[in-house]
Structures are given as C-alpha cells and as structure tokens.
Structure 1
C-alpha cells in the first residue's frame, strides 16, 4: 500500500491510499459523506485481485485528508477537489462513487469528462433533493459499525445546497459522455423515483442495475453482488488488455492452462499399516457417480503418502473452507508433523477428519487406475458430512482465492 497526497481546491491536502500494480488500469474510489476510504476495503482488495490498480480517496474533512480551517465543504469545493485529483493522477481512471460523492462526480465530469476519466460508476446516488440523506447515512453507519465520529468533520453535513441539486444533476447528465454504470440498492431513499428515471434516461452512455436486499448500502451490505456487476462493467468497458492466448503442448503450457480451471482444495487422509494418520493436499478431486456413490482423486506417484494410499482400504476426502489456507499449506509441505499441528477427529471408518472443514467424505477403496505420473484413486462413499454456512477455499492460477460473487 502507498499513501498518496494531492493538492485540492484552495490548497487543501487530500490523502488517498493506492494498492495494486501501477501498470494495471486505475480505479478511483470515492466514498460518501460521513464515511472514509475504509468503507471500500473489501471492494479494493477484490479489484486488485481482478487486475486493477486502486486509489481510494478520502474527501476533504474525512479520514486522512485535511479538515480546512475555513470549514468549507460546499459542492463546488468538492467538485474542484475531484477535478484536481484526476488531473494529478496522470491516468484516466474509472471513478466509482457512493451516495453523495456521486453528486460530486456527476457535476465534476460534466466538463471534459473524456479527458479526465475512463468511466463512471454511481452507487446508491439519489437524483432528487433529500436534506436528511447524508446525515442519515452517516448516523446509521456509525451506529452499525461503531465508527469514531472524529473520523470526519461534522461541519460536512448540511453544506451542500440541495435546493438546486436536482437541476444541476439534470443539466450535467447529458454531458457525461463516458461509459456509466448506475447501481441502486434497496433503501427507501434509494428507490427509483421519477427524478432517478429521468436522470438515467439523460445519460448518453449508461446502463443501470438494481441490487436487492441491502439493509443499509449496496457497497457494505451486498458487496459480492455489487462486485459482480462492477467487474462485469469494467471487463467490458475498460478491459485490462487485448486477449492473449498462449498455445503449446509442453508441460509448462499445459500446467498453466489447467490452472485456469478454478478448483476447491481437499486434504486426503488415511492410516498406514501401523495406524498412523497420513494426509496430503490435493485439488484433483471430483464426483464420479451417485449410484453407486463414487468419487475420485488423483495422487502424484511421487507423493510421500502415495504408497499408503495405493494400499489403503479406506480413506477420507476433507474439503477445506476459506479460513484453512494454513492447513492446506501444511499438508502440501514436507518435514512437519502435519497432524500434531492440526485439529482432527476420527470418523466412523476410523479415518482422520479435519476439524472445521467445509465437508468430508469417508470412503472405501473401489478401484485404482494408473494415470501417467499420477494414479486415480476411486472411492465408494460410505458417509458424508458438510457445513452449509461456510465458503470454500479455492485455487486458481497458482493462488488461493475466495468466492467473489453471491
């Protein structure tokens, strides 16, 4: 993470944090009134994993940015701040806003939009006058998350002149000649109104989506659903680069191509002839048949536990959940007493079952087939168990991943 500073309107110091590769397309995240850049933390992490550089800005009077002695927080000062930041970034980002920062970006980008930004995302932005909006959001966020009110200047509230806001937004909308995504959630004040419909219709290059079941705001309450729409929009409107296809029949190309297929992660466990538990991490696992109930796992011939698994009458497949990355690494490494450092219990067949796993299958050996440098171990499931409230630990392109979408 890198802390960036910008010179805003009237010389006010604005602070932002940047994460991700500088060579990737930039996304500028702008929070709403009564929030700070920390509200975007989960979104920022997901965007970096999707190949974007993220700059998350604190507005004047919020978070790490300066609280001007003048106490000036009117719409014009915020607009000039944003235009100054965009001019100093040195790249044209997609600007992603939340609630009242959408007002700022809409008016700021109505002039020279294509020269300042590559796209605009308006999340939960009301297009009509609502005097209590910023205060209501700030108070509810503070109550829900226990935020310290000192993270933002209370003088921020009430300084934007709302009397002419609807007219200014209506005037700016037709001038936003850049790809725009409008996202709305389920709050009463975010519901689609005639003003919102008119605003959307006036946008020259826009699409609109609604995300249901947000208790407070889409960004904080329906993060994964919001990310699915945002990433789809970015992939279509601001692709990282032209598609690049690699071809070949060598082992490296084959391995990289196979790595594009996302998998779950399992730990295969059994016992040797002395009853000592053994286990290894594997992601080549699949369901094979329901009648009879069969599954299979592929084990490298060179694996330390391979000789035991070839001869074992019973084994278990433990599916890992998102918090068990360390367990996966432990059973993939060498030289460590894996079971001494891992909580486990004995299943009905006597096989070791990893505590806290997403699920487990206890199996008896059904068949073994040679498969090049691996062998295919087919098991008949005699007992299955699972925890429906956990998310899986995933593996994709050589890295651990988690579910992004809901």
Structure 2
C-alpha cells in the first residue's frame, strides 16, 4: 500500500484546528536538578490500571534530561499561565529559576498555581515516527476545584475555555 505524500506544514495546519490542553511535564534529572517541558500531546490512556501518556519530540532538548527518570509529574496549566507555558516550551535555558515548585510524592516538581497535577511512575516508552510515546502509571494526583479554566493551544496560539458551572460528571 502506497502512503500519500502529505506536506508537513499542511498536516500541522490542519491538525492545529483541534484544540489541546497545555501541560508541563516535570522530572528530576540525573544531575538531581529539575527538568521540564511543555507538552500539548497528553492523554488519559486507561482507568484500570490508571495510565496516561505524553509524546515528546525526538528532537527535544529537554526530554533527554528527563528520559532516565523513573517518575514524572504532569502539571495541567490554567489559562493565566501562558507565560509559564511559553517558558517551558523554549529550548534550553534555566526554566526553573525563581520558580517556587513543590515536590510531588515521587519528588518530581509540581508547579505553582496549576489546575491539577498527576504524579506518575514511567512504565514504558515507544518509538512513534518523530516522537516518543511515554506511558506513565498514575501514583498520585490532585486538582484545584476553585481554579479558573485551562490553558488551551489552538491554531498556533494560547487561549482559554470558558468553564460552565459543574453539572456532574461528564463522560465521553
């Protein structure tokens, strides 16, 4: 079967019409220092056992600092945290300078003011084209019920979602 020749920019532009939440995945690197990266490709995988996944690019300069860690923490950003998202999306640099983070149960950084955090034990890493698929077993998690809406990435820009009042649990 012959695969269609799809231009990368067109692929990215079309898929940019699908909004994603913005998270910062953090870990403690092999040097004992915190490391982190902004991710738009994060998803829930399984309820039993509780699994999540994120997909760092193989060209990432942050992932190599985190790839050897046995655990990581997913920090769900709120819409007022666009600057924090931009800081962690940049390649290199001192991302944690002046940031008062607290340790999750695993020791991975929980960033200040996040909507939720999900602490995970890394369970598997798979190669998928130009990205890795990193699976994590959830070991602890928490959310701020009073937090404002999430930071959203749509068509190349940060935005927000207006959160309606709670109407009970939603299912998809």
TM-score (norm 2): 0.88
- The separation in 2 between residues aligned to 1:397 and 1:280, in whole angstroms, is 20
Q: Which residue is 1:392 aligned to?
A: 150
- The separation in 2 between residues aligned to 1:302 and 1:273, in whole angstroms, is 19
Q: Deviations over 1:134-192 (max 9, x none)?
A: xxxxxxxxxxxxxxxxxxxxxxxxxxxxxxxxxxxxxxxxxxxxxxxxxxxxxxxxxxx
Q: Which runs of 5+ in 2 are unaligned?
A: 165-172
Asked if 2 retains the 8 angstrom alpha-carbon contact of 1:358 and 1:387, the reply is yes
RMSD, matched Cα: 1.4
> Relative contact order (alpha carbons < 8 A, sep ≥ 6): 1 or 2 greater?
2
Q: Structure 1 residues 290 and 262, CA, compared in 2 at 3 Å: closer, same or farther?
A: same
Asked if 2 retains the 8 angstrom alpha-carbon contact of 1:327 and 1:342, the reply is no
The match for 1:367 among 124, 127, 150 is 124
- The separation in 2 between residues aligned to 1:341 and 1:334, in whole angstroms, is 18
TM-score (norm 1): 0.38
Q: Which residue is 1:274 aligned to?
A: 31
Q: Which residue is 1:243 aligned to?
A: none
- The separation in 2 between residues aligned to 1:321 and 1:405, in whole angstroms, is 11
More strand by share: 2
- Structure 1 residue 335: Cα displacement: 4.4
Q: Deviations over 1:214-251 (max 9, x none)?
A: xxxxxxxxxxxxxxxxxxxxxxxxxxxxxxxxxx8211
- Structure 1 residue 405: Cα displacement: 6.3
Mapped pair 1:286 → 2:43:
yes
- Structure 1 residue 309: Cα displacement: 2.9
Mapped pair 1:346 → 2:103:
yes
Q: Which residue is 1:297 aligned to?
A: 54
SS at match of 1:385: strand
What is the aligned residue count? 159
Q: Which residue is 2:167 aligned to?
A: none
Asked if 2 retains the 8 angstrom alpha-carbon contact of 1:360 and 1:385, the reply is yes
The match for 1:403 among 145, 161, 169 is 161
Q: Which residue is 2:168 aligned to?
A: none
More helix by share: 1
Q: Which residue is 2:138 aligned to?
A: 381
- The separation in 1 between residues aligned to 2:27 and 2:89, in whole angstroms, is 15
Q: Which residue is 1:254 aligned to?
A: 11
- The separation in 2 between residues aligned to 1:287 and 1:397, in whole angstroms, is 22
Asked if 2 retains the 8 angstrom alpha-carbon contact of 1:310 and 1:377, the reply is no
